[in-house]
Amino acid sequence: MKKSLLVNIGFIISALLCLAAKDGYSQNSLYSTIQQISDTSSGQLGVSILHLESGEKVSLNGDKKFPMQSVYKFPIAMAVLQEIDKEKFSLDDSIAIHKSEYIPKAGHSPIRDQFPEGVTMTLRDILAYNVSHSDGTACDVLLRILGGTEKAEKKIHGLGIKDIAISTTEMVQVAHDTIQYQNWSTPDAMNDLLVVFFKGKDLSENSRQFLLKLMSYSNPWFDRRIKGLLPKETPLVHKTGTAATYNGLTRATNDVGIITLPDQSHLVISVFISDSYDSQSKRESIIASVSKAAFDHWSLPN
């Protein structure tokens, strides 16, 4: 990705926010800024933002369905940790992974690549591969021990979050590009799930801290989206999701997470881009620009 693209868009966003400051940083001014960013995208942009401590919200297409891609590994991890809290499993349980469970080569799977003949590893490590390394094989193993996609979805719906669908495995999703639309969420629903997770209402504190750690994992590939234009030291827990590109079309480019602002308050943010013909750097810069606009909105003095 060209860093200059993010920097240039950052200057544009800063200028827009300076104009918005004259309007007292109203929610409408932030919405207008996000709409202007959306107008630069060839795809559909979905955004849901909540300032957790004040309850202030901004949403664009927040009630629309977007394919989650690997973002769904976050709710699946939550479902597994709920079972661990009920002592149905333990983080230290050893789980055998047969090579027949490996997702196709088109999908991302460090486990498949590192252990071509199969491997046995702890549930703790499988969760880490699933969340921190976005491993599709790890995701399917977690779905297997949960009893399938239907049971995983039921556990999330049981938290009161209905507008999330977990319908297919990574094995199926990787092999058939359009299947990914069956694993969908609205931006508002994903934000609601992030709030449930962050407040720790349905997970033990040990499980909550464990998942926070996994979602805090940072590398240059993941940090070009929500974190792309934020101050380098900004704490972020998040989960990305990305579809393959076919004939120039990318069906999903996503990032969802929780930003800790300089005053130690929190922004819950979900950004989805569907059906885009833009380059990857352009798609990621759009997510970064939305995040920067929200960060500045609640960080800069009125």
* Positions marked catalytic: 70, 170
Question: Whose CA is closest to 293, among 31, 82, 76, 79?
Answer: 31
Question: Whose CA is closest to 276, among 255, 247, 256, 240?
Answer: 247
Q: Tokens for 300, please give them.
A: 């800069």
Work out the number of other CB atoms within 10 angstroms of the CB of residue 32: 16
Element holding 21 (H helix, E strand): helix 3-21
Q: Tokens for 91, please give them.
A: 């983080």
Element holding 179 (H helix, E strand): none
Question: Whose CA is closest to 290, among 278, 273, 302, 277?
Answer: 273
Q: Do residues 196 and 52 touch, judged by C-beta distance below 8 A? A: no
Work out the number of other CB atoms within 10 angstroms of the CB of residue 80: 26
Distance CA 178, CA 47 (A): 22
Q: Tokens for 111, please give them.
A: 């486990």
Pairing of strands 245-246, 94-97: unpaired
Work out the number of other CB atoms within 10 angstroms of the CB of residue 64: 17
